[in-house]
Amino acid sequence: MQYLPNEQRYQSMEYRRCGNSGLKLPAISLGLWHNFGHIDVLDNARNILRVAFDNGITHFDLANNYGPPAGSAEENFGKIFKDDFTAYRDELIISTKAGWGMWPGPYGDWGSKKYLVASLDQSLKRMGLDYVDIFYHHRPDPETPLEETMTTLDLMVRQGKALYVGISSYLPEEAAQAIEILKQLGTPCLIHQPKYSMFDRWVEGGLLDVLDQNGVGCIPFSPLAQGLLTNKYLKGIPQGSRASSNRGNGAIEEDHVSDEKIDKVRQLNVLAEQRGQNLAQMALAWILKDKRISSVLIGVSKPSQVLDSIRCLENYSFTEAELTQINEILK
């Protein structure tokens, strides 16, 4: 049956300007890191994307290595896009990345011009797109000159293969250098995608300030600490969770789910209930309370989790007492 999106899809979503750019992103974006690979059910992936778009989520975030196997998330997205979303291309922000290992030999990883150009060409082919809206360098390369990597991002924009460019997982000083090079080239850095959650707050040590000072957006990934900041771990490690299934890249390691962490999760859950939220909603709201955050990436395994996540927008203000309590629990 032909997909017809909800006509009211823009009524309830909040859109935030991405840094100093003209682009607005939905406060909640959908990441395809998990549950969109060839090992997953395509119809479930299709339903997730439909529910997301029906509720104003216009940004779908991919990478060349998402799957498993690597490349399969882009392939599956391409199939669904062709069937359901081709008519709505101009309403969508589609992003992808390159920077992790994709093929054998010295040209299939990191940040060389050779690798990045080939990778984006492959990504466009897998997704059936003429261009992506955002192309990221996925992680810093300690061996390739930063100028080479950033010049390649600039080239991708000039060739029309990407509208904007970004970086991911760069430390504050690395990010500042990359932002300055791109500025000099005339292709501003649109956005940075760092790992950020209540349990992983490294971005507060300077990165958010660097981005804010340079007018660069921020879109955190893993805001729920790979599922730890949800109700599924309140009773320990459940069967079928990422900690027990160990699905590879991005799965939470079982030894990271310590008794101490689960005790903190339980304490946070009590506060969430007092706020009228579940733990996941509070964890997303806690990130979105900061106006320097352009959007937050969610990863879901079923459509209902999309709807549940969006409800965080009903209350993302915190009292000083609540913030103090959260910091006390987390320290």
Question: What was the pLDDT predicted at 92?
Answer: 99
Amino acid letter for position 17: R
Residue 326 has pLDDT above 50, yes or no: yes
What is the rounded CA–CA span in Å between residue 243 and residue 240?
8
Amino acid letter for position 177: Q
Phi, psi of 224 (to 5 degrees): -105, 20
Sign of the Cα torsion 9, 15, 18, 20 reads positive
Q: Which token pair is 316?
A: 């993302």
CB of 195 within 8 A of CB of 169? yes
What's CA 86's distance to the chain center, in Å?
Answer: 22
Domain count, the chain: 1
CATH number of 24's domain? 3.20.20.100
Percent with pLDDT over 90 in the chain: 91
Residue 193 lies in a domain: yes
Name residue 30's beta-bridge partners: 60, 298
Q: What is the pLDDT of residues 279-290, one digit of tens each?
A: 999 999 999 999
Q: What is the pLDDT of residues 11-49, one digit of tens each?
A: 999 999 999 999 999 999 999 999 999 999 999 999 999
Question: What was the pLDDT predicted at 15?
Answer: 98
Residue 243 lies in a domain: no
Q: What is the mean pLDDT of residues 126-143?
A: 98
Q: What is the mean pLDDT of residues 292-303?
A: 98
Name residue 96's beta-bridge partners: 135
Torsion, Cα 248 250 255 261, to 10 degrees, reads -160
User: pTM value?
Assistant: 0.95
Q: What angle do CA 149, 147, 104 make, to 5 degrees?
A: 30
Tokens 């507060």 belong to residue: 204
Percent with pLDDT over 70 in the chain: 95
Question: What was the pLDDT predicted at 235?
Answer: 80
Question: What was the pLDDT predicted at 247?
Answer: 45
Q: What is the pLDDT of residues 158-186, one digit of tens each?
A: 999 999 999 999 999 999 999 999 999 99
Residue 249 has pLDDT above 70, yes or no: no
Q: What angle do CA 136, 137, 141 make, to 5 degrees?
A: 170
Question: What was the pLDDT predicted at 256?
Answer: 72
CB of 35 within 8 A of CB of 25? no
CB of 103 within 8 A of CB of 70? no
Residue 280 lies in a domain: no
Beta strands 28-31 and 24-26 are: unpaired
Residue 48 lies in a domain: yes
DSSP H helices, 186-241, are 207-213
Task: Return mean pLDDT, the chain.
Answer: 95
What is the rounded CA–CA span in Å between residue 282 and residue 230?
9
Residue 4 lies in a domain: no
DSSP 202: G
What is the rounded CA–CA span in Å between residue 111 and residue 123?
16
Beta strands 15-17 and 24-26 are: antiparallel
Beta strands 15-17 and 189-193 are: unpaired
Residue 316 has pLDDT above 90, yes or no: yes
Question: What was the pLDDT predicted at 12?
Answer: 93
Residue 328 lies in a domain: no
Q: What is the pLDDT of residues 63-117, one digit of tens each?
A: 999 999 999 999 999 999 999 999 999 999 999 999 999 999 999 999 999 999 9
Largest CA distance in the chain: 54
What is the rounded CA–CA span in Å between residue 57 and residue 15?
9
Tokens 């997909």 belong to residue: 3
Name the E strands within the chain: 15-17, 24-26, 28-31, 59-61, 93-98, 132-137, 162-168, 189-193, 217-218, 296-298
Residue 118 lies in a domain: yes
Residue 141 has pLDDT above 60, yes or no: yes
Residue 255 lies in a domain: no
Confidence of residue 1 (pLDDT cuts 50, 70, 90): confident
CB of 76 within 8 A of CB of 42? yes
Of 155, 98, 139, 134, the residue nearest 217 (C-alpha): 134
Question: What was the pLDDT predicted at 241?
Answer: 60
CA distances from 139 to 99, 155, 221 (A): 6, 18, 13
Question: What was the pLDDT predicted at 233?
Answer: 85
Which residue range forms the structural domain that includes residue 216? 15-227+291-316
Q: Which token pair is 20?
A: 């100093």
Q: What is the pLDDT of residues 57-67, one digit of tens each?
A: 999 999 999 99
